[in-house]
Structure 1
Amino acid sequence: MAEMIAVYDATGREIGVEERSVVYAQGIWHASAGVLVRSRDGSRVYVHRRTDTKSVFAGMHDCLAGGVLGPGEDPGEAAVRELGEELGIILGPRDERPLPLASGSWNGVWADRPMRCHLFAYELRYDGPIIHQPEEIADGWWWTDEELRSHLEDPSWPFVPDTRTMIPDLLR
């Protein structure tokens, strides 16, 4: 059965649903929630490399754990869901929730096709265990903002393009 995701208009309002494959193939506006995981003291950011089998941005690095929003899904709830799915960070009812950082939009090209996405960005302070979902995350490590920024300055470093355009505003 095809996965259905929320479709958005250019202004960031949910307007319907469509199959994920159609959204990606046709460059239809959609939304994602992404969480910047920082150490509790704020000195480090968790960076990971996506698996080579991902349908979008395969094998690239990212510092947001996240994914697309389902129909009617709240971005904050999607952020918590994605933390559990990708990094094994399961937040209980008493745990702190990711805090909203910013929202932005990315209208670019990936693999010779248009990609249009509204990003709802969050931050979580966390020092617990991280357990990668093997289908999505190949590897991961902690870096300072300076280490991440120096890698981002290299345009040949394979980093997810939508996060690359928005992350400078999220780093210290």
Structure 2
Amino acid sequence: MGVEMVAHYDADGSVVGAVPRSRMRAEGLWHACTSVLVRSGDRVYVHRRTDTKDVFPGAHDCWAGGVVAAGEPVDECAVRELAEELGVTGVPLTPLFTLRLEVAGVREHLHAYETHWDGPITHQPSEVADGWWMTIDDLRTRLADPTWPFVPDGRLAALEWLKRLD
């Protein structure tokens, strides 16, 4: 398999080139990612990452997503990642917000989306260890607990989503 190339962004959110994913991680380069929140009524799908993930292994997250590939439009990345991680396809994605984040050695432009889904969830075994539906109130309670292992950028995005929901 070849070197995975990702879009390299500047701090203002403009694409400035392409770099190997390994370099982006090693040097903490600015990049973009997509994060899709999957809802069913008053529930949100939450999952635990595998222990082999390159960043935040074993942590919980309520977003399906990943890094934008070189030359890939952000919207297409969101659709691709949702299908890869949770097996959800053919649903409309609603753009929510974009956050410029520098957290835990990661510098990213996080593009958040939301979708509604009542069908089956199929985990990508290399990325998702387990998953379940959680009420919005339960998610809010868990996020307030700093000891609950949750992906740092995902926590910030979820808190932003909850703030806008209120």
Q: How high is the TM-score relative to the length of structure 1?
A: 0.91
- Post-superposition Cα deviations, 1:55-110, rounded to whole Å, max 9, x if no partner, equal 0111000000000001121111111101110001122xxxx41100110011022x
Q: Percent identity?
A: 54
- Separation of aligned partners in 2, 1:90 and 1:126: 9
- Separation of aligned partners in 2, 1:97 and 1:146: 25
Q: 1:156 aligns with which of 141, 147, 161?
A: 147
- The number of residue pairs the alignment matches comes to 162
Partner residue in 2 for 1:18:
19
Alignment gaps of 5+ in structure 2: none
- Separation of aligned partners in 1, 2:100 and 2:46: 21
SS at match of 2:156: helix
> Does 2:144 match 1:143?
no
SS at match of 2:137: helix
8 A contact 2:112–2:157 mirrored in 1? no
- Separation of aligned partners in 1, 2:151 and 2:138: 16
> Does 2:113 match 1:122?
yes
> Does 2:105 match 1:104?
no
Partner residue in 2 for 1:169:
160
- Separation of aligned partners in 1, 2:35 and 2:97: 10
Deviation of 1:166 (Å): 2.0
> Does 2:67 match 1:68?
yes
Q: Aligned partner of 2:97: which letter?
A: A
SS at match of 1:170: helix
Q: How high is the TM-score relative to the length of structure 2?
A: 0.94
Q: After TM superposition, list the pairs within 5 Å mapping 1:70-85 onto structure 2.
A: 70-85=69-84
Q: Aligned partner of 1:133: which letter?
A: Q
Runs of 4+ aligned residues of structure 1 deviating over 6 Å after TM superposition are none
- Post-superposition Cα deviations, 1:4-27, rounded to whole Å, max 9, x if no partner, equal 100000011111000111101100
